[in-house]
């Protein structure tokens, strides 16, 4: 799934131009490296220790001007092509008016960084999910980036530039994918103990599949009918799960922790730390601190029976 060198495997026009700039600068640097190391080798050979000193050369205006002008031209050139690219790919907050809602600003997705997971909201449809961004292909989406705690950095190497998510300040980025697929996203700014496990997936669908996903995602949960699962649903409310999490259609409405409305349909748990399987979900519930030390989910020291009930319930959240 994940590309070994995602920057070299772009899947959006934006990522492609970033790759091109990177290769451009890399070639210039490689050229300079080759010239400098070549000259060092020549000097080492020609002026190796011999009987007599080489001819001493004190100053040359022409050469001094040349070695000043050369680097200046190169630096100005690199700055020019970088600024041009930044201006092309940036989603500037031009229409953003203080106090305007996300919809008014034409925001398609609001992404909020938390230690250590991502909250994903679609203002138009009211869908809320976590650590998984579903998008239709071929559409340039405006993403607003926010943070609830410290500075995080949103980065999908195959699709976007990096952009910080800063508390109290909204940033924007364009998100677009050429073809359907799953793209790895990461937090690219050190943000505490579990920075390394603050991953997310961008799942790009054909527009029809995306519409179907939206339809499923809009449905709220229905109370489970099966005994084990319905005991789990009661336990979920009785324990303090509902004081941090939300499950649409129930009394659990908090947004301190990931929204669990469609938890069982997601690919990963704990912002990418483990795959989302019933066994892994059980391991996670049994002791989240063992799976992701430092995460905000406490160890509830659940009994085996309680684990069975909770897993049965959470697996109904599709
Ligand atoms: Cu969030 Cu690093």
Q: What ipTM does this complex have?
A: 0.99
Percentage of the chain exceeding pLDDT 70: 95
Model confidence at 99: pLDDT above 90: no
Nearest to 187 by CA among 160, 159, 165, 158: 165
Instruction: Please work out whether the CB of residue 198 comes within 6 Å of at least one atom of ligand 1.
Output: yes
Helix (H) or strand (E) holding 144: strand 141-147
Instruction: Please work out whether the CB of residue 189 comes within 6 Å of at least one atom of ligand 1.
Output: yes
Locate the domains of the chain by residue range.
Answer: 6-89, 227-314
Model confidence at 294: pLDDT above 60: yes
State the helix-helix crossing angle for 13-46 and 61-89, rounded to 10 degrees. 160
Q: What is the pLDDT of residue 105?
A: 63
Backbone angles phi, psi at 71, to 5 degrees: -60, -40
Q: Which is the closest atom of ligand 1 to the Cα of 192?
A: 2
Query: For the domain 227-314, what is the CATH code?
Result: 2.60.40.420
Third-level CATH fold of 6-89: Helix Hairpins (1.10.287)
Q: What is the pLDDT of residue 228?
A: 94
Helix (H) or strand (E) holding 72: helix 61-89
Query: Ligand 1 centre and the CA of 80: distance in Å?
Result: 30
Q: What is the rounded average pLDDT of the residues 172-190?
A: 95
């Amino acid at each position: 799934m994940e590309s070994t060198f995602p920057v070299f495997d772009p899947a959006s026009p934006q990522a492609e131009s970033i790759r091109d700039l990177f290769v451009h600068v890399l070639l210039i640097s490689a050229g300079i490296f080759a010239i400098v190391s070549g000259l060092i080798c020549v000097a080492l050979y020609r002026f190796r220790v011999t009987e007599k000193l080489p001819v001493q050369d004190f100053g040359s205006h022409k050469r001094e001007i040349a070695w000043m002008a050369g680097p200046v031209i190169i630096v100005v050139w690199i700055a020019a092509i970088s600024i041009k690219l930044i201006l092309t790919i940036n989603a500037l907050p031009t229409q953003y008016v203080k106090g305007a809602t996300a919809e008014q600003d034409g925001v398609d997705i609001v992404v909020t960084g938390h230690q250590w997971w991502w909250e994903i909201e679609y203002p138009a449809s009211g869908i809320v999910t976590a650590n998984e961004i579903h998008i239709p292909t071929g559409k340039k989406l405006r993403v607003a980036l926010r943070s609830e705690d410290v500075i995080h950095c949103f980065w999908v190497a195959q699709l976007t530039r990096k952009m910080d998510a800063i508390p109290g300040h909204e940033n924007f980025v364009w998100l677009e994918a050429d073809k359907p697929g799953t793209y790895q996203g990461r937090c690219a700014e050190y943000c505490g103990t579990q920075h390394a496990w603050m991953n997310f997936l961008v799942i790009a669908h054909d527009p029809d599949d995306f519409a179907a996903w939206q339809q499923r995602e809009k449905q709220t949960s229905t109370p489970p009918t099966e005994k084990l699962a319905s005991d789990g649903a009661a336990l979920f409310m009785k324990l303090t799960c509902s004081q941090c999490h939300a499950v649409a259609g129930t009394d659990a409405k908090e947004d301190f922790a990931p929204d669990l409305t469609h938890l069982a349909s997601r690919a990963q748990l704990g912002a990418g730390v483990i795959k989302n399987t019933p066994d892994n979900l059980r391991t996670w519930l049994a002791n989240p601190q063992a799976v992701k030390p430092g995460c905000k989910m406490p160890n509830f020291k659940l009994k085996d029976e309680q684990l069975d009930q909770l897993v049965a319930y959470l697996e109904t959240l599709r």
